[in-house]
Amino acid sequence: MDEHRDITLAKKHIYRMTPQRKVILEEVRKMNNHPSADEIYEAVRKKLPRISLGTVYRNLEILSEQGEIQKLELTDSVNRYDWDTRKHYHIRCVRCGRVDNAPIAPMQQLENELYGATVFTILGHRLEFIGLCPECSKKLSCLKNNPPDK
Amino acid sequence: MDEHRDITLAKKHIYRMTPQRKVILEEVRKMNNHPSADEIYEAVRKKLPRISLGTVYRNLEILSEQGEIQKLELTDSVNRYDWDTRKHYHIRCVRCGRVDNAPIAPMQQLENELYGATVFTILGHRLEFIGLCPECSKKLSCLKNNPPDK
DNA sequence: ATGATATTGAAAATTATTTTATAAATGGTG
DNA sequence: CACCATTTATAAAATAATTTTCAATATCAT
Ligand SMILES: [Zn+2]
Ligand SMILES: [Zn+2]
Ligand SMILES: [Zn+2]
Ligand SMILES: [Zn+2]
């Protein structure tokens, strides 16, 4: 919705390092599965049981603004977060939502191909692969052999 | 959320052609700007003032399931719909949300590059360019010359 | 026309996320 | 250390897009 913020840049904030923010960052750095805000909330709660979900959202936003983590906005209803801030692509399981890194190098040149061919000023691109994780592949091939209602 | 539906295929529906569905399809086919459900609702309301937003959503879903239109799930909070069902990429304005077609051919071979390198079964990919439409580019360069608060 | 089933409209529910309002914590300064 | 201007946390309410529910029609192949 409010994608304006980063562009019409408001006044600079001086961020403080709070225990909450510190724990959130530590937990995200431990998680290799591209967790959602809710999954991070659950992990952080084990360290700080009184933390609120709103705090987790706010800090994830700040941390990605600061470049400490990366916010992944995939074609999914939930956003995910990545400790790895380097540009890389992902593959998402269409059935369970699992997200893995896609072992393919970023292709900056894709944007060049568009240059001059569009009236837009190109700022970037987003590439996401869609697929089935091994577990879901298995479940579905079973289902195919034994259909739900004959 | 429920991306399961198309996969664990439920029982076949026999769809009827209702006046509502017909008008919705006609209106989408007239719109070249990748409209959202709400924008389609507003257009359809001029023909059928008593239609409900829920009906529009339901029919857009059915029509894309049937391949009559294409549902675009971009990295945005709102989904958009496209009368053009051919595979093609889009470029989205990060500021106002305008979506244009991206004049670049679909690259099926991207998926081949991943084949064997991931444990996922690859089903497809999604590529979206991010940028600024001419109007927003202009507004922002003005803003840069006259910052909001001195 | 009849009946089985699909569809509608209106409202309520859901989901992910953001905002709001207080109270509490932080960090620089005298 | 004490003061103060912020920033931040918490809990709850608000938002926004979409989906679900359900009783009342509408549709279409007999
Ligand atoms: Zn899966
Ligand atoms: Zn990653
Ligand atoms: Zn724009
Ligand atoms: Zn298009």
pLDDT digits (tens, 9 = 90+) for B130-144: 999 999 999 888 766
Bases of strand C lying below 7 A from some protein CB: 5-12, 15-20, 25-27
pLDDT of res. A137: 93
Residue-wise pLDDT tens digits, B65-112: 999 999 999 999 999 999 999 999 999 999 999 999 999 999 999 999
User: What pTM value is reported for the model?
Assistant: 0.87
Residue-wise pLDDT tens digits, A91-106: 999 999 999 999 999 9
First to last CA, chain B: 45
The residues near B43 (Cβ < 8 Å, ≥ 6 apart) are: B27, B30, B31, B35
Q: How many residues does chain A have?
A: 150
* Side-chain half-sphere exposure of A144, counting CA atoms within 13 A: 7
Task: Fill in the DSSP letter of residue B81.
Answer: E
Residue B8 has pLDDT above 50, yes or no: no
pLDDT of res. B12: 60
Domain ranges of chain B: 1-73, 86-150
pLDDT of res. B147: 54
- CA A15 to ligand 4 centroid distance, Å: 41
Asked whether A63 and A25 are in contact (CB, 8 A), the reply is: yes
Q: Which ligand is nearest to the CA of A4?
A: 3
Q: Find the residue in B nearest to A117 (Cα).
A: B103
Measured CA to CA, the distance from residue A121 to residue A33 in angstroms comes to 33
Residues of chain A below pLDDT 50? 1-11, 148-150
* Residue environment code for B35-55, b if the CB has 16+ CB neighbours within 10 A, otherwise e: bbbebbbebbbeebeebeeeb
Class of domain B1-73: mainly alpha
Å between A32 CA and C20 C1'? 34
Q: Which CATH number fits domain A86-150: 3.40.30.10, 3.30.1490.190, 3.40.50.880, 3.20.20.370?
A: 3.30.1490.190
pLDDT of res. A12: 56
Q: Which ligand is nearest to the CA of A123?
A: 3
Residue-wise pLDDT tens digits, B10-68: 346 789 999 999 999 999 999 999 999 999 999 999 999 999 999 999 999 999 999 99
Q: Which of B4, B11, B75, B137 to mutate to test the interface with A (most CBs of A within 10 A)?
A: B75
With 0-12 / 13-18 / 19 or more C-beta atoms within 10 angstroms meaning exposed / middle / buried, residue A31 is: middle
pLDDT of res. B13: 72
Å between A94 CA and D19 C1'? 19
